[in-house]
Amino acid sequence: MYKVDKGLTLGYHHNMNYTTVTLKEARDNLSELIERAALTKETFLVTKFGKKKAFIISVDILNNSRKARINILKNTFGIWAKRKDMVNSWVDNLRKQENKRHGQIFT
């Protein structure tokens, strides 16, 4: 019934397999797909006329991906936090952008 594909990259270094379903299949089986996503962490790509339209994905996977991104940002761009020569630099601008996007992760 469903086709399993590979290659979705969510966040950093988080590759996952996903199952492709048509919009009609998703509509007819939405409750089942949501349960499978929530309980088994299975991911579904919904297509319409063969074009990618949406994902059905577990909230846990999204939260873990966000946490991984924040840790990577802290460990890379946070290393220059105390350097005076990095004030008003591209690194400082990037920190400000990421703080707006993810909340206060750099102080």
pLDDT one-digit tens code per residue, 21-54: 999 999 999 999 999 999 998 989 999 999 999 9
For residue 96, the Cα-to-chain-centroid distance in whole angstroms is: 20
**Domains of the chain: which residue ranges?**
3-60, 61-102
- Tell the CATH superfamily of the 3-60 domain: YefM-like domain (3.40.1620.10)
What pTM did the predictor assign? 0.55
Q: Give 72-94 pLDDT, tens digit per residue.
A: 666 666 666 666 676 677 777 77
Structure-token pair, residue 52: 């990618």
For 54-96, what is the HEC assignment?
A: EEECCHHHHHHHHHHHHHHHHHHHHHHCCCHHHCCCHHHHHHH
Q: How far apart are CA 59 and CA 6, in angstroms?
A: 20
